[in-house]
A and B are shown apart, each in its own frame.
Chain A
Amino acid sequence: MLVLVVVTALAFDYTNGFHDTGNAMATSIATGALQPRRAVALAAVLNLVGAFLSLHVAAAIATGLVEASMITLPLVLAGLCGGIIWNLLTWLLGLPSSSSHALLGGVIGAVLAASGPAAVIWGGVLGKVVVPALLAPVVALLVGGVGTWLVYRITRGVDPGARDRGFRWGQVGSASLVSLAHGTNDAQKTMGVIFLALIAAGSASAEDTVPWWVIVSCAVAIALGTYMGGWRIIRTLGKGLVEIESPQGMAAETSSAATILLSSHFGMSLSTTHVATGSILGSGLGRRGARVRWRVAGRMAVAWVLTLPAAGLVGAVCALLVQVLPGLAGSLVVFGLLVVTTAFLYHRSRAQHVDHTNVNADWCPDDEVLDPDHHLIHERH
């Protein structure tokens, strides 16, 4: 059982990695500041380093959102499955959505199914998850928009070539900071889940420090995931939302880095994905003449609203399976279902492949949809 949970947690960490590569690197890839493969390699290394930077790992999952005493190993497994499946589905559709929300949704759904609504701390869900999710894109949009406007105002009249060369450096620097922060924040979440599982299984005590293999495996999992590059999501963020130039890219990534780091400093953790998307939208609004594709933004917003309930539904179904089937059988069935679903979604993604060769291809029609049944993406020019 413990092994299943650890493996599933690492799998979640991996999806977390490739789902979020775009948050940091999409703008650098879109403007050509970095070659696509170099960008994901850089992001992977920084995620790896970031995972080791701060090791205040709390053995916790969904603290203050569900009654801690209700969390059992099978429920953690069910919650992780909810998170992974939602992450894969949104990746297939090329939609950036918050990995932490997916995990929280899965766990809340699992606890809800197992113990009823009384086990969920609804005030916590509202204050810690829903309100920050509504605020994050707005704050980031404001910061990214003002930054972009200032940058274009200050560099007015400067030769665009020289300007873009300069800003590419700033872009890479600010994007790197976002990657580093992501490695620290998100790898630690999985470390916390595994540590919690170890304590629940009696293999560690809460007073222990996190075993080194947990830290190393989580760091490696998120770095490998990042290196895989969620090309579909990178494409949406870098090309789909806004046609982006280097100065916009730098303003957007600096806005993301500042908002993410400062919000966690002030005790509110905002989703990297929500912040990055808001910043990129802001950079589109801040430059005169830039076009923002609101339909794409609208689709993302729908995905964000659905994240919690959808991942929760999967988590709940998994939790019921675990409870109904006797002993370890339930957990094995849930794990089996996870593997089958993953294989199916991966197979679907092959039908319309996005990788480092066509990630920057022109955004085709106004409402390009990454629908595996249609072949909408042009070859690279």
Chain B
Amino acid sequence: MDVPGTLTALWQIVVVSLLVGAGVPAVFAVGVRALAEVPAGPAPFPRRLLAGCCFGVASLAVVAGIVLIVLGGR
């Protein structure tokens, strides 16, 4: 790939990496917060559901990563 080609790929990489690379930890953080907010006792059901969804999204991202590896992005 030449220099202009590299630069064209670059902005795509920046945007998508930023969405995924910063988004997944953020979603995970929402899950952690949902579980930990209540001072005593287990978190109520809606909170646990929210946390489950967040951790689910994060797990899906890992699965997507593995698929990307297997398909061989290059």
Contacts and interface: CB of A to CB of B under 8 A. Distances in A.
A180 B68 CA distance: 11
Interface in B9-63: 9-10, 12-14, 16-18, 20-22, 24-26, 28-33, 35-37, 58-59, 61-62
Interface residues on B, range: 35 or more
Contacts of A124: 2
Contacts of A262: 13, 16-17, 20, 68, 73
B9 A267 contact: yes
A264 B9 CA distance: 10
A213 interface: no
Interface string A240-269: 000000010011001111110111111111
A142 interface: yes
Given A54-B70, A151-B29, A128 B1 contact: yes
Given A127-B6, A180-B69, A254 B21 contact: yes
A181 B69 contact: yes
Nearest to A286: B22
Interface residues of A, number: 55
Contacts of A22: none
Contacts of B21: 143-144, 147, 254-259
B9 A146 contact: no
A131 interface: yes
Chain B contact residues: helix, strand, loop or mixed? helix
A257 B3 CA distance: 24
Contacts of B10: 135, 139, 268
B73 A264 contact: yes
A277 interface: no
B17 A259 contact: yes
Contacts of A147: 21-22, 24-26
Interface string A95-117: 00000000000000000000000
Nearest to A138: B14
Interface of A: 50, 53-54, 56, 123-124, 126-128, 131-132, 135, 139, 142-144, 146-148, 150-151, 154-155, 158-159, 162-163, 166-167, 170, 173-174, 176-177, 180-181, 184, 247, 250-251, 254-259, 261-269
Interface of B: 1-3, 5-7, 9-10, 12-14, 16-18, 20-22, 24-26, 28-33, 35-37, 58-59, 61-62, 65-66, 68-74
